[in-house]
Amino acid sequence: MNSSTGNLTLTAKRYAGASGSAYGIDASPEMIDVARKKAKRSGSEAVFEVGLIEKIAYPDATFDVVISRLVIHHLPDDLKRQGFAEIFRVLKPGGLFFLADFKPPANPVLAHVTSGLVGPGMMQSNVWGIPPMLTETGFVDVASGPTRSAFLAFVRGKKPTAGGS
């Protein structure tokens, strides 16, 4: 699950193959429209739907993997927590949650320049505050770290299996 303009979901569908599914969800009808057009052009069977992270319209234990990219920094902490609870709910036992989002630059000059480019709101969001939220939600094997991008970090967690982690 993840949408924006659909590239990540289309890639996920290619990896899932003919027997797997990939769903892209975004709050923006305009982004979903763009993603659906890309899917149609490429012949992909990826599904794109308008939806909210805090109210995912799928039953419990639907997905093996949920991916969130460049979404969480838009949300206040209470909505992040609601979204993580929903992601936890729709993951199958043993399912994986992976997110990539902005990290604040450590260099103060770069932080100032970045704030001017992307706005101070993004700079107030700190991906390093997410792991404790995931742990509070019930995720296990929570980890975080840098990516190859100077501006992005990852966080991952796993929904425990019925017998533990």
> Which domain CATH number covers 138?
3.40.50.150
Same domain, 156 and 86: yes
Same domain, 110 and 44: no
Same domain, 111 and 44: no
DSSP string, 4-27: TTSHHHHHHHHHHTTT---EEEES
Same domain, 79 and 12: no
Same domain, 42 and 73: no
Which strand (E) or helix (H) includes residue 155?
strand 152-158
Same domain, 106 and 152: yes
Is the pLDDT confidence value at 114 over 70? no
155: closest CA among 70, 51, 60? 70
When divided into structural domains, the chain yields a total of: 2
Domain membership flag for residue 145? yes
Which strand (E) or helix (H) includes residue 145?
strand 140-146
126: domain range?
A: 66-160
The separation between the first and the last C-alpha atoms of the chain, rounded to the nearest angstrom, is 22
Same domain, 152 and 76: yes
Same domain, 11 and 44: yes
Domain membership flag for residue 20? yes
Tens of pLDDT, residues 132-149: 999 999 999 999 998 888
Tens of pLDDT, residues 62-105: 999 999 988 888 888 899 999 999 999 999 999 999 999 887 66
DSSP state of 55: B
Backbone angles phi, psi at 48, to 5 degrees: -125, 130
Same domain, 15 and 84: no
Same domain, 70 and 18: no
Tens of pLDDT, residues 14-69: 999 889 999 999 999 999 999 999 999 999 999 999 999 999 999 999 999 999 98
Same domain, 84 and 147: yes
